[in-house]
Amino acid sequence: MTRLRNVIKSTALKSLWLSVVFAISLPAFAMTLQQAMTALPSAKTEGMVGEQPNGYLGIVQNTPQAENIARLINEARRAEYARLAKENNIAVTDVEAMAGQKAIARTQRGHYILLDGKWLQKR
């Protein structure tokens, strides 16, 4: 019985320790929109993310950093597209399509764009 109590205590302490370590390290994994916007140019240069015809960033290299950048920026874009659609009394999909065309046109040479379902480096 004493051995069982020691095992339970040891397991509880390990769980508590892991929870504390996770809570402390969580801010290191979290990224703000401002940080994502700052990281975007290098993420594009490194081929991690690219522009899509639907107006949103796509993930070229599936990494946690690429996912965070794309998620945060796409959330901001989605909100802005909804605002513009409402303000101009047009469909959000129309705003997305126009934004996608502009983003692809402005994409720098060597960065990735999604065309016909394939990631290509813009020439």
pLDDT digits (tens, 9 = 90+) for 50-93: 999 999 999 999 999 999 999 999 999 999 999 999 999 999 99
Whether 24 and 40 map to the same domain: the answer is: no
Residue 61 DSSP label: S
Give the domain range for residue 25.
1-30
Whether 52 and 109 map to the same domain: the answer is: yes
What region, left, alpha or beta, does residue 24 occupy, with left being phi > 0 and alpha being psi -120 to 50 degrees?
A: alpha
Whether 61 and 94 map to the same domain: the answer is: yes
Whether 108 and 68 map to the same domain: the answer is: yes
- What pLDDT sits at residue 13? 46
Whether 53 and 77 map to the same domain: the answer is: yes
**pLDDT tens digits, 90-121:** 999 999 999 999 999 999 999 999 999 999 99
Domain count of the fold of the chain = 2
Q: Give the span between the Cα atoms of 53 and 30, in whole angstroms.
A: 28
Whether 5 and 45 map to the same domain: the answer is: no
Give me the helices (H) in the chain, please.
2-29, 33-45, 64-88, 92-106
Residue 27 above 60 pLDDT?
Answer: no
Whether 19 and 48 map to the same domain: the answer is: no
- Name the pTM for this structure: 0.76
Whether 50 and 26 map to the same domain: the answer is: no
Whether 84 and 103 map to the same domain: the answer is: yes
Whether 81 and 50 map to the same domain: the answer is: yes
Whether 9 and 50 map to the same domain: the answer is: no
Whether 98 and 38 map to the same domain: the answer is: yes
- What pLDDT sits at residue 92? 98
